[in-house]
Structure 1
């Protein structure tokens, strides 16, 4: 069994894994991910997103610029852009998309509209070109204001960007880094909408789980994660452990002038990272994880090193 290794570069950590890890199914490795990966691109000047309920949209219109500023501080979950996240070792991206009739384009969003999807995916593609042995998981799991035609157009865009690098939907046990490298594959794209049934290059929503604690409370979240870990997960899917606190209206009101980062994420990070340190990978163990502000708490390297303990 290999001990922890700290001399790898985060931008190329997969290529440094022990041989036994390279031959392990990808869904059994510990993989650092980011929650709401593209929220760094939202701005206070952006339109309120269709992911927000009508009463929030009405409230923001009433309060104008001040309302947008509050929403911005509680919508941003990442400071690093996608290129920086990937360079820092993130290999799972949480993708939430809408179609904007105003711009006639696809945008990432979280509370507010963010950057155009196409530009962000170009950054992802550039990273893959520079790091040919790194493998990414793109999870498109929330869609807003999208017709069936819009879905088909987005799938076409993704195929145009990543086509020859995409690992098709195949038997879970066959998807190892070794196999991906042999066939020059670098991307698995999960697309959680029924339209994907006709597009077998993409992985359906049935092949990934991401249980959500939906709490702003650290003890409640840690208890939720403990119960998940004790119960064990199914091995024939990808699984996301969400080290994420969710602010409710009461949380925002009680911390009106603060932000999601200062009120919740900074306080949670040491607890979540400490919780991860003694966990195992492999069958029923830790796999993909998601966290806000991935630079906090030595999160990425702690998770990567779990692979060395197991392999």
Structure 2
């Protein structure tokens, strides 16, 4: 009986130790991926590469998935409007944080690194009315990020930004989506920041780089939203972009998906007259194997380091012609020279595009 009690006590203590270890493991916040903000300066690559006649929707460019998440901290509140289970993301915050912060580099670094397409999520805080960049958790105030966009546009004539407000949340709305009630507040932020002074909403089927930049003498941005409030400076998301999400944590499945989309574009099933995005990202799966895979790769940026290197290995002109926007997590990752190699492939493609457009 004495041995039995000692065994039970040992097993209980072992279970408690494993439970505490698991809780600590889930709660650890660090990302285990380098902050790669150095390297080559691509601040003026569009002006230096493009000649004018190129259609905007055909120009290859780097894109950042959940672009404005560098300001996210472990202390950041969960955004109840944009997540299915705020409670779970609260109690497992270390894990949730590591799987939500997609970019380590801040916005000025992404812009200097050549990123021109930005996947943006924004949410309106119901208590304060302040808009924040978001991906499950609050990141920086959106006004700060818009000011950074405006500063770049003012300093870099000839560069074109695509600001894709992929999701705009509002917890006071019945469907948690930003609509007529508070859209005017977001529009005012865009206006006050100066971003709307560079915004254009041309016919994408015909719009060229030369037209929107006045021959490279001014910067431009195209702002996409699902609800535009009828504002003439904004492009309607539904009719302006094709960006299929593969929802997988398998690199091979992503690459197969990109092959499939390329065939759809080539066959005419997908229009070439819209922005077309390579969603080259891995997504944590809410299954036992998916959770284990996420824990094994530790964080979203760390997982992206290896994936981006593989993407650079297989990136090709067929994909770029079909889906010119290459959107990644941890977009400036230097692991495997991923960022440099992807930029080289993009610039080579655009140089050929510029040469072809000049002779048509």
Aligning the two structures, in what range does the TM-score lie when normalised by the shorter sequence? 0.7 to 0.9
Match of 1:58 in 2: 87
**Which position in structure 1 is the counterpart of 2:312?**
273
Q: Which has the higher contact order (CA 8 A, sep 6+)?
A: 1
Residue 305 (structure 1) aligns with: 348
1:196-207 residue pairs with structure 2 within 5 A?
196=228, 198-205=230-237, 206-207=239-240
Where does residue 71 of structure 1 map in the other structure? Answer: 96
Q: Is the 8 A contact 1:139 1:189 kept in 2?
A: yes
What residue is the counterpart of 2:9 in the other structure?
none
* Alignment partners' CA distance in 2, 1:255 and 1:173: 40
User: Cα offset for 1:9?
Assistant: 4.6
Q: Give the match's secondary structure for 1:142.
A: strand
Report the counterpart of residue 208 of structure 2 in structure 1.
176
Q: Distance in 1 between matches of 2:179 and 2:273?
A: 31
Aligned residues: 290
- Return the alpha-carbon distance in structure 2 between the equivalents of residues 293 and 301 of structure 1: 17
Match of 1:31 in 2: 61
Partner of 2:27: none
Distance between the aligned counterparts of 1:135 and 1:144, measured in 2? 26
Correspondence 1:188 to 2:222? yes
Contact 1:10 1:87 in 2 (8 A): yes
Partner residue, 1:165:
198
What is the correspondence of 1:99-248 to structure 2 with a 5 Å cutoff? 99-145=124-170, 146-160=178-192, 161-167=194-200, 169-182=201-214, 184-193=218-227, 196=228, 198-205=230-237, 206-232=239-265, 233-248=270-285
Distance 1:112 1:13, change over 3 A: same
**Aligned counterparts of 1:162 and 1:307: Cα–Cα separation in 2:** 26
SS at match of 1:159: helix
Q: Which runs of 5+ in 2 are unaligned?
A: 1-39, 171-177, 355-360
TM-score of the superposed pair, with normalisation by structure 1: 0.87
Offset, 1:281: 4.7
> 1:16 and 2:48 equivalent?
yes
Distance 1:278 1:170, change over 3 A: closer
Q: What is the alpha-carbon distance in structure 1 between the residues aligned to residue 189 and residue 74 of structure 2? A: 28
CA distance in 2, matches of 1:255, 1:210: 24
1:129 aligned counterpart, secondary structure: helix
Please state whether the residue corresponding to 2:73 is helix, strand or coil.
coil
Q: CA deviation at 1:47?
A: 0.8
Structure 1 residue runs of 5 or longer lacking an equivalent are 1-7
What is the Cα deviation at residue 245 of structure 1? 0.7
Return the alpha-carbon distance in structure 1 between the equivalents of residues 145 and 84 of structure 2: 26
Partner of 2:299: 259
